[in-house]
Amino acid sequence: MAMNEDTILQVKNLRTYFNTDEGIVKAVDGVSFDLRKGETLGIVGESGSGKSVTNLSVINMIPSPPGRIAGGEILYHGKDMLKMSKKEIRQIRGNKISMIFQDPMTSLNPFLRISTQMIETIQLHQRLDKKAAKEKAIEMLKLAGIPGPEKRIDQYPHQFSGGMRQRVMIAMALSCNPEILIADEPTSALDVTIQAQILDLMKDLTERLGTAVILITHSLGVVAGTCDTVCVMYAGRFVERGPTDVIFESPMHPYTQGLIRSVPRLDREDDERLSSIRGQPPNVIDLPDCCPFYPRCDKAMDICRKKYPAWKTLDDGRTVGCWLYSEDK
């Protein structure tokens, strides 16, 4: 993946490991992707596949110990963030790269007013006085669809519903006009109607502000409706990556095919059973150096049990890591 002028972030062969009593957990093991200006990139996969750890690594929030970034590069405008000082990282995190965490119920401090939490962030990164910072916070709450933001900004988180708290989190994350917004399962704790509203809000605000988005989700429906590019993740690695419409139209990796087949469809026959992927995700402690999906794969070959396949780039803009499409098998 060559760096071009539109590329904001480039992750190369990222590896993040955790030391445990049972062994080394390879939560992220050789992940690479590019993010361009204004692009929405989705990372999709089962729980425990390494989606959140990938993005916590990007903003250098891996708890150490037991975690560590064991290798790779995270290039922000061509500069490796893994070689930056803590001061340089703090200037980027929350300012140039913001993150919406998974649970809006616990992401806000219940003992502090919304105004305190938002104003502190804006003052820290935007160098505004308290009055100007509060005006900026009110403006962002208004953009996020909070009714009566002038009054509600001085309320506490428990006075907001789950959907409204997530709107507050979005307003806070976008208050410093970041170049990149990382959204970690931003709708998982919300009901379906509110999910749609939150996704529409994020899409509208990021398009208006020109923000690139990394969306972490286990929902293929969310990916299909919001993302330009999708990365399918399994056991700490990407197995398929490319334009969303291309992958949904003709998935190639058996895991991607299984995920798409398992989505309920309105055009299914009444007597047609819902497909599922057999087995369970693997234990990522001391995984062997072979395809981790082979125990669950109906198309597994002998070579799948021996070594991991190389990436193959196709003419339609996607890359896939599977021995079915390798010339070396």
Find, among 306, 286, 307, the residue nearest to 23 by Cα: 286
**What is the arithmetic mean of pLDDT over 109-129?**
90
pLDDT value at 189 more than 70: no
**What pLDDT band is residue 139 in, cutting at 50, 70 and 90?**
very high
Tens digits of residue pLDDT in 236-258: 999 999 999 999 999 999 999 99
Report whether pLDDT(121) > 80: yes
Q: CB of 254 within 8 A of CB of 322?
A: yes
| 54-109 pLDDT, tens digit each | 999 999 999 888 999 999 999 999 999 999 999 999 889 988 999 888 776 778 89
pLDDT of residue 276: 84
Q: What is the pLDDT of residues 293-326, one digit of tens each?
A: 999 998 999 999 998 888 888 888 899 999 998 7
- Can you say whether residue 164 is alpha, beta or left, with left for phi > 0 and alpha for psi between -120 and 50 degrees? alpha
Measured CA to CA, the distance from residue 115 to residue 82 in angstroms comes to 33
pLDDT value of position 284: 85
Summarize pLDDT for 191-216 with one digit per residue, the tens: 777 788 888 888 888 888 889 999 99
Mean pLDDT of 135-155: 93
Residue 34 has pLDDT above 80, yes or no: yes
**Integer distance in angstroms from the first to the last C-alpha of the chain?**
24
Listed range (55-69, 160-174, 263-277) with the worst mean pLDDT: 263-277
**pLDDT value at 220 more than 70:** yes
Examine the pLDDT at 8 and tell me if it is beyond 70.
yes
Lowest mean pLDDT among 30-39, 103-112, 178-187: 103-112
Q: Is residue 204 helix, strand or coil?
A: helix
Q: pLDDT higher for 287 or 17?
A: 17
CB under 8 Å, gap of 24 or more: what pairs does 112-119 form? 112/156, 113/153, 113/154, 113/155, 113/156, 114/141, 114/152, 114/153, 114/154, 114/155, 114/156, 114/157, 114/160, 114/168, 115/153, 115/154, 117/172, 118/153, 118/168, 118/171, 118/172, 118/175
